[in-house]
Structure 1
Amino acid sequence: MFNDIGALELVTLVVLAVLVFGPEKLPKVIQDVTRTIRKIREFSESAKQDIRQELGPEFKDFEFEDLNPKTFMRKQLDNDDLGLKEIRNGFDLKKEMAEVADAVHGRESESSSGSSSGASGSGSSGGGSIDMTKKPEADDRPPFDADAT
């Protein structure tokens, strides 16, 4: 629960508690706080049990930790029923971004030079490269339709 509290923060909290409550009242305050935390935990556990009973036997392996999105995604990625690992391993983001950057700058990348020259024969000009600096001609634009806007 308090995994991220360091030693300095803990000492600061103790000193602050002694200053606020005084050394005489501090044990009583600590008892009240621990009793309250215990009651909250008991209430939480009974609520979990009630929810499990209401869900029925088909949700007997339901864990409330699965409601956390990080835990849910980690469990789904570990369960490879959908083939997500194969998709994730087959996708190389750096390679894809390099190909897009090469296309924008008008260069032809090594991996796309063999595949793009055969596939892009009729649609592009200049051996598969795209000239992004060229402005469109006036008759290249579609006609303006005032009713569509």
Structure 2
Amino acid sequence: MIKSLVKAESLELGDPTFEAGSIHVARTTLINPTTKQFIYDVELYLGATKVATSGVGSITIPAGGSLIVDFTLVMPIAEDTYPVYLDVSVAGELIAHYPAIEDVVITVLFDPLSYDFNGNGVIDLNEMVAAAQD
């Protein structure tokens, strides 16, 4: 019986700083180093509690083959730094848990046109004009 294995060659996220709520794609190359084809369940996620996840998807990698896999993630709303993980399972058994080299940093951009400067609960025209002039 051949034991299932997988190797992650790389995980590309680009610049690790993202705007809250933005959508990004991470790419990795997965390698099946065995002499048997396997169906792998893969998931990329942020934080140990999975504050953002690609969801679990199934891929098939032939014996000795490799596959480029794209993971789409919607960044969390909370401004913070999150570790990135890639989990790979076969038939419900976790066979690999890869932490990324870099963490992801989520930033919230300040929009002066949507801020209540005078604290009255209303964004009025005077506040918008003042913000635009600054």
Q: TM-score, normalised by structure 1?
A: 0.19
- Which has the larger Rg? 1
More RCO (CA 8 Å, sep 6+): 2
Which protein is richer in strand relative to its size?
A: 2
Which protein is richer in helix relative to its size?
A: 1
